[in-house]
Structure 1
Amino acid sequence: MTPIAIEALGLSAGYGGREVLQDVSLTLRAGEILCMIGHNGAGKSTLLRVLFGLHRPSAGNVRIFGDTLPGFTPAALGAAGVALVPEGRGVFPDLTVEEIFGLALWSAGVPKSGQRERIDEVLEVLPRIKEFRTRRAGTLSGGQQQMVSIGRALLTRPKVLLLDEPSIGLAPKLFQDLIRPIAALRESRGMSILLVEQNVREAFAVSDRVLVMRSGKFIFEGAPAELDHARLMELF
């Protein structure tokens, strides 16, 4: 039986008394790429924030590899092998790429003796970073910043990667070049990936399963092949 990487049960959450998630349950299997789609405001980003300990749910619980973490915080999630690439990239514009990576490695507690190996691993997955690693993040294009944001997450050698809308602001070809090597980590490392994405074509090409969210609830779960254009239009 395939182990479960993340199991969320009965999650409800909101902001200022307004409920966004309504009794949501989700299972992400080890080594699986799960794609979550839905209209803007459906609750997808809120769910990722809850799963990474950035927003406290009003009900429900989350288990990571079968365990309920005593302190469900981003630091605890990171230690358990979960990494988040947030929407909007979140890079420090005044720092160089090397400085951003150094800060991430320091924050993760990686000793200096092992930092070079971690960086080399990331550059093997995203080799184009070598071209701009000494530049300040604020001078980079959107695609380059997205590579840095994903690279920063990969430095921690996560077992689970949460990706929130990585294609925003990117040309389709650039997104394709970005997502394919990330998806390949499922084969080489057994990484689980939860991908929130609007570029349905490219996301479905690398995904094992799809969840469709509407108004804080899942209204469809199945294989990408089950969602042709007509079915997608019906669900949206």
Structure 2
Amino acid sequence: MSTSEVLKADAITVGYGGRPVINDISVTLRNDEVLCLIGHNGAGKSTLLKSLFGLLPPLSGQVRIDGEDVTPQSPRDRADRGVAMVPEGRGIFPSLTVRDIFTLGMRATGVPKAEQQDRVDWVLDILPAIREFMLRPAGNLSGGQQQMVSIGRALLNRPRILLMDEPSIGLAPKLFQDLLAPIRELQQREGLSILLVEQNVREALKISDRVVVMKSGSMIWEGLPEDLQDNQKLMELY
């Protein structure tokens, strides 16, 4: 695992309607790692991810990619730099087929038409179960299948930085493991950098290289997954 920084929140304060939700936060995602971000509900984890992806401009501070200030840039600009996001709640269009969702996703990020089928085939190699329901409306799929579609759509851009916001929501632990395993394998094979926000702490720690903990809009702890094997330590941080 490299120590070079690919994505950094540099002392950012972010909120809604001018009211801060996260305060003066700095966190760094390094090249070729899975960084797990945990914390109680309302800690500001999703707000942080939205700001890193360009959906919420910070009230102060900077977001940097490869050391360059990208704070004014849009989500499309950040996608062009290799950033993709799997949103909380999946964010898929229930009336569209999976193939149509993939096509829309590639259009939105400017994937050339000539390359689109190759991108789809690449994603289906990573998440082969999607082949079974490519032509079905997303609204008819199970929660686990919808989450696969959401992850697959994010991967279509061949990102080097992947932001994942609570992918385990609504999924049985075994299903979550089945989703995470190919993502970790892809990350290790291609040197992806992944920032994973998760409530299913035990499963998330199994595939993480580092961990940061948020509480009430602030960063309160950083360390290694093995540092949190003790339930007492986890309870203290929560």
Task: State the TM-score, normalizing by the size of structure 1.
Answer: 0.97
Instruction: Tell whether the 8 Å contact from 2:10 to 2:63 is kept in structure 1 after alignment.
Output: yes
Instruction: Tell whether the 8 Å contact from 2:18 to 2:59 is kept in structure 1 after alignment.
Output: no
Q: Residues 199-234 of structure 1, C-alpha deviation per residue, up to 9 Å, x if partnerless?
A: 111100000000010001111100011112110011
Whether 1:38 aligns to 2:30 is no
The answer for the alignment partner of 1:198 in structure 2 is 199
For 2:68, what is the secondary structure of its paired residue? coil
Distance 2:232 2:110 in 1: 49
Q: CA deviation at 1:115?
A: 1.1
Distance 1:111 1:221 in 2: 40
Alignment root-mean-square deviation, CA? 1.1
Instruction: Tell whether the 8 Å contact from 2:8 to 2:65 is kept in structure 1 after alignment.
Output: yes
Instruction: Tell whether the 8 Å contact from 2:92 to 2:146 is kept in structure 1 after alignment.
Output: yes
Whether 1:181 aligns to 2:209 is no
Q: Residues 136-189 of structure 1, C-alpha deviation per residue, up to 9 Å, x if partnerless?
A: 011111111100000000000001000000000000000000011111122111
Distance 2:103 2:18 in 1: 39
For 2:205, what is the secondary structure of its paired residue? helix
The answer for the alignment partner of 1:143 in structure 2 is 144
Q: CA deviation at 1:70?
A: 7.0
For 2:94, what is the secondary structure of its paired residue? coil
The answer for the alignment partner of 1:59 in structure 2 is 60
Q: CA deviation at 1:15?
A: 1.6
The answer for the alignment partner of 1:132 in structure 2 is 133
Q: CA deviation at 1:44?
A: 0.2
Distance 2:22 2:116 in 1: 39
Give ranges in structure 1 of 5+ residues lacking alignment. none
Q: CA deviation at 1:112?
A: 2.1
The answer for the alignment partner of 1:220 in structure 2 is 221
Whether 1:232 aligns to 2:234 is yes
For 2:69, what is the secondary structure of its paired residue? coil
Calculate percent identity across the aligned residue pairs: 60
The answer for the alignment partner of 2:25 in structure 1 is 24
Q: CA deviation at 1:71?
A: 3.8
For 1:23, what is the secondary structure of its paired residue? strand
Distance 2:15 2:71 in 1: 22
One-letter amino acid matched to 1:103: L
Distance 2:98 2:18 in 1: 39
After alignment, is 25-34 or 67-76 more displaced?
67-76
Give ranges in structure 2 of 5+ residues lacking alignment. none
Structure 1 segments of 4 or more deviating over 4 A?
none
After alignment, is 161-170 or 105-114 more displaced?
105-114
One-letter amino acid matched to 2:50: R
Q: Residues 85-118 of structure 1, C-alpha deviation per residue, up to 9 Å, x if partnerless?
A: 0000000111000000111112222222211110
